[in-house]
C-alpha cells in the first residue's frame, strides 16, 4: 500500500455524499482488491500511532521460517476495516429497516475493525504471551485489546480527531467485545454489531476472515475456506448473527483452517525456537531498556515495535551483551535445538499442568553431562478450535431458510463423522540451548514421559545426527 494523505477535511458530520467521495481514498490490497478509506478512517490512519503498525509483522518472527510472511498489522487492519464494512452493509441491505442499522453504526463497526490491533506490542502475540508473563508474573493481566482501547482514546485526544462520544464508546466496546473487560460495554440494543469484529459468542468474526486468508497466502499455503459465503448468507435473529444451515461445513472449515494454521505455521517448531530466543533476548535487555515500563502508558507504548531487536543489536552498552549474542545467534541460524515433542494424551488433558525445564532435568539419569535448568527450554502449546475442549459449532446459531424465523444449533453428529471428538491439543516441546546437549536433553525428555505416562508418547526418536552435534 502506498502512503495515504488525508489532507484538510471539513467536519465529518457536515460531509454530503459528494464530499465523502472527494475526501475518501482508495488503496489496492493484495487480498481484497480496491478498498475505499473514508475521511474518519484516514484521520486515524494518518497518525504515527497507526503508521507504527507497518513495523509490526503480522506473524512476528515467522518470516524467518516462511520467507513470504513479511506482511504487517497495517495491512491486516485495513483488511479488517474493509470486511467489517462489507459485513454490516450486507446486513443493512437485507435487514436494515428491521434491525435499525444506521450510518452511525456502520462507521463505528468499520473504525473498530481498523483499530482493533493498534495495541499490539512488538512481534505481536509473542510479546503478550511470551515476554510479558515472565516480566509481570502470573497474576498480572495485560492484553493488546485493552491497550488498543486506551490508544484509541490517546489518538483522539492527541490528534484532535472529531468523534462523537457515543461513537467513541461504541468503537472501544467493539474492540474489547471478546474479552472479560468487554462486559463493561455490554448493550441490549443491536448487540449483534459487537460480534462483527471480535466475536466472543461463537468465534466467527471478520478478524479471522482476514488473517486466515492473508496468512495462508503469505506463507504459500492453500486456503479452501471461503469467507464470502458466510458474509453473503448471514442473518440476524434474536439479536445474534446466524448462518444458513447449508453453510455448516463452511463454518466448520473456518475453525479447522485456523487450527491447522496454528499447528503448521504459528507454532511451527523452528518458529517457536526463534520466538524463545527473542523472548530471552528481550528479558535480558529489559533491565537496561525498560520495555516493560512502557506497557501501561499509551504515549510511550506506541513507540515500541519490531525494530527493538535492531536497537539492541547495534547498542554497544555492556548490559546488552547477552541479548546481542542471542540476536547474533539468530542471524547466524544457530538456534535453540528442537529435541522432540509429544502430544498430551486425551485422558490427561483435563488435569494437565505445564511442563517446566525443572521437570526435564529432574528426569535425567546419572552419568554423562549434568543438565542445568538454564540449558533447557520447554514450550507448552495449546491448539484448539476456539472453545478449548468444546466444539465451537455448538455455539453457532443456524437457520433453515430466509422465510423461516427460527434459529437452532446443529449437533456435530449431524455434520460429519470425520469431525474430531476432541477439539483440543496440548503439545509439549523441548529445546536445548546448546547443540552439544541435545542427546542429554532428549534422553531426559524420554525419561520424563516414561515416568509421567508409563510410556514414551513422542512419535519419533530424536535423530542421531542431531544428538551427535558439537559446538
Q: Work out the angle at residue 64's Cα, subtended by the Cα atoms of residues 61 and 67, and round it to the nearest 5 degrees.
A: 115
CA contacts within 13 A on the Cβ side of 130:
27
Tally DSSP H helices, then E strands, for the chain: 19, 9
CA contacts within 13 A on the Cβ side of 84:
32
DSSP 320: G
Q: Is 181 part of the annotated catalytic residue set?
A: no
Distance of CA 122 to the CA centre of its chain: 13
C-alpha cell at 68: 513470504
3-state secondary structure of 224: coil
Long-range contacts of 445-454 (CB under 8 A, 24+ apart): 445/339, 445/340, 445/360, 445/363, 446/340, 447/363, 447/364, 447/365, 448/355, 448/359, 448/360, 448/363, 449/342, 451/363, 453/345, 453/348
Q: Please list the residues that pair with 424 across neighbouring strands.
A: 384
For the residues of 284-302, what is the DSSP string, one character each?
HHHHHH-SGGGTT-HHHHT
Do strands 398-399 and 240-244 pair parallel, antiparallel, or not at all (unpaired)? parallel
**Catalytic-labelled residue, pool 63, 76, 120, 144:** 144
For the residues of 55-79, what is the DSSP string, one character each?
GSBTTTTGGGTSTT---BHHHHHHH
C-alpha cell at 442: 532428549
Of 130, 181, 172, 166, residue with least CA distance to 148: 172
Give the orientation angle of helix 165-175 with respect to helix 144-158, to 10 degrees: 160
Quickly count: other Cβ atoms within 10 Å of residue 431's Cβ.
Answer: 24
**CA distances in angstroms from 90 to 38, 117, 405, listed in the order given:** 18, 24, 19
Residues designated catalytic: 144
Amino acid at each position: 500500500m502506498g502512503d495515504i494523505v488525508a489532507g484538510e477535511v471539513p467536519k465529518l458530520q457536515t460531509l454530503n455524499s459528494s464530499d465523502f467521495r472527494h475526501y475518501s481514498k482508495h488503496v489496492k490490497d493484495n487480498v481484497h482488491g480496491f478498498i475505499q478509506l473514508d475521511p474518519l478512517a484516514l484521520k486515524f490512519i494518518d497518525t504515527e500511532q497507526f503508521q507504527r503498525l507497518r513495523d509490526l509483522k503480522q506473524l512476528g518472527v515467522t518470516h524467518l521460517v516462511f520467507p513470504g510472511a513479511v506482511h504487517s498489522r497495517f495491512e491486516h487492519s485495513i483488511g479488517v476495516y474493509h470486511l467489517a464494512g462489507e459485513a454490516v452493509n450486507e446486513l443493512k441491505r437485507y435487514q436494515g429497516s428491521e434491525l435499525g442499522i444506521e450510518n452511525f453504526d456502520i462507521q463505528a463497526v468499520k473504525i473498530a475493525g481498523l483499530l482493533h490491533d493498534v495495541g499490539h506490542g512488538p512481534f505481536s502475540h509473542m510479546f503478550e504471551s511470551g515476554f510479558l508473563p515472565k516480566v509481570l508474573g502470573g497474576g498480572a493481566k495485560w492484553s493488546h485489546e485493552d491497550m488498543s482501547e486506551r490508544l484509541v482514546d490517546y489518538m483522539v485526544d492527541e490528534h484532535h480527531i472529531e468523534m462523537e462520544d457515543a461513537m467513541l464508546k461504541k468503537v472501544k466496546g467493539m474492540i474489547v467485545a471478546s474479552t472479560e473487560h468487554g462486559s463493561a460495554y455490554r448493550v441490549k440494543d443491536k448487540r449483534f454489531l459487537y460480534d462483527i469484529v471480535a466475536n466472543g459468542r461463537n468465534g466467527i468474526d471478520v478478524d479471522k476472515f482476514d488473517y486466515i486468508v492473508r496468512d495462508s497466502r503469505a506463507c504459500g499455503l492453500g486456503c479452501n475456506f471461503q469467507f464470502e459465503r458466510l458474509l453473503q448468507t448471514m442473518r440476524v435473529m434474536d439479536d445474534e448473527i446466524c448462518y444458513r444451515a447449508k453453510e455448516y461445513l463452511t463454518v466448520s472449515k473456518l475453525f479447522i483452517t485456523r487450527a491447522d494454521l496454528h499447528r503448521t505455521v504459528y507454532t511451527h517448531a523452528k518458529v517457536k525456537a526463534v520466538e524463545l530466543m527473542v523472548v530471552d533476548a528481550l528479558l535480558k535487555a529489559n533491565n537496561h531498556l525498560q520495555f516493560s515500563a512502557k506497557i501501561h502508558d499509551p504515549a510511550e507504548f506506541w513507540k515500541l515495535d519490531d525494530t527493538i531487536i535492531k536497537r539492541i543489536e547495534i547498542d554497544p552498552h555492556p548490559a546488552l551483551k547477552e541479548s546481542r549474542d542471542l540476536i547474533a545467534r539468530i542471524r547466524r541460524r544457530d538456534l535453540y535445538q528442537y529435541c522432540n515433542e509429544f502430544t498430551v494424551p486425551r485422558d490427561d488433558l483435563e488435569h494437565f499442568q505445564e511442563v517446566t525445564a525443572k521437570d526435564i532435568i529432574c528426569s535425567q539419569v546419572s552419568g554423562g553431562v549434568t543438565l542445568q535448568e538454564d540449558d533447557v527450554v520447554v514450550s507448552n502449546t495449546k491448539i484448539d478450535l476456539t472453545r478449548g475442549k468444546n466444539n465451537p459449532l455448538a455455539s453457532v446459531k443456524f437457520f433453515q431458510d430466509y422465510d423461516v424465523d427460527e434459529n437452532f444449533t446443529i449437533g456435530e453428529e449431524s455434520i460429519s463423522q470425520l469431525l474430531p471428538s476432541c477439539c483440543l491439543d496440548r503439545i509439549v516441546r523441548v529445546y536445548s540451548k546448546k547443540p552439544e546437549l541435545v542427546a542429554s536433553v532428549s534422553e531426559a525428555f524420554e525419561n520424563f514421559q516414561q515416568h509421567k505416562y508409563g510410556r514414551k508418547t513422542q512419535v519419533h526418536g530424536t535423530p542421531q545426527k542431531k544428538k551427535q552435534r558439537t559446538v
